[in-house]
Structure 1
Amino acid sequence: MKYNLAEKLAIVKAIDEVIRVDGQVDPAEIELLRQLMTVLKFDRGLVEEARNITAKECMMILKGMPDNKKHALAVMLNEMANADGNFNEKEYQLIFNILMEAGIKVEDSEA
């Protein structure tokens, strides 16, 4: 699946938020992020750029994506939350909120 720059920024911001929401960055999360960097074709600089966009901007971009990309986002967020073997309440709530705001039916996703 091909993503434009805005979509990559929003996806990376959402993923970065999931990584950081529990206050701990696990090596398994970093490894999965590296894998996503290869698959989505972005570098560390894009992570820094993504941190500079607002949550509102991020959600507007995610909301505008087609359903197949939204589903892929749900899968990526869930994989990241599970990367460290501990899908905790903060991660669940964040993912739930991102998916709802983006217009993804939660019962249709993996969250």
Structure 2
Amino acid sequence: MHQETNAFTLAEKLAMVHVVNSVILADGQIHNGEINAVTQLMEQIDFDSNFIMQARNIESEQAISILKQMSPENKNKLEGILEMTAISDGFKHAKENSLMTYIFESMNK
């Protein structure tokens, strides 16, 4: 089941991968479920492992700025992706929850 891969611009993909990576790292551990979630996301929005390295190099403020400009539909998709990523290890850590709340509030200002 593939979703539309062209629904996001290159900048949006970079920003999305940046915040997904941040949520994964928030609790200080990378779990197998989170790796699987990223692998699924790579197929879903069409990026590779080199793209993850590029996404890590952008500033968080820049990522939030890009996310703010996304369509409401894409913001909703991102919220779903982040929720799925956070629970992919079987548990949503308080640090992951706090970071996601910050991301959602920041991109919807």
Q: Give the TM-score band, short-chain normalised.
A: over 0.9
Q: Distance in 2 between matches of 1:34 and 1:88?
A: 21
TM-score (norm 1): 0.91
Alignment equivalent of 2:96, drawn from 88, 91, 98:
91
Question: Does 1:44 pair with 2:61?
Answer: no
Match of 2:19 among 14, 28, 32: 14
Tell me whether 1:58 sits opposite 2:63 in the alignment.
yes
Q: CA deviation at 1:101?
A: 0.2
Structure 1 residue runs of 4 or more that deviate by more than 3 Å after TM superposition: none
What's the counterpart of residue 87 of structure 2? 82
Aligned to 1:109: none
Residue 33 (str. 1) matches residue 38 (str. 2) = yes
- Specify every segment of 5 or more residues in structure 2 that has no aligned partner in the other structure, as ranges: none
Count of residue correspondences? 104
Q: In structure 1, how many angstroms separate the alpha carbons of the residues matched to 2:61 and 2:92? A: 25
Structure 1 unpaired stretches of 5+: 105-111
Q: CA deviation at 1:88?
A: 1.3
Identity of aligned residues (%): 36
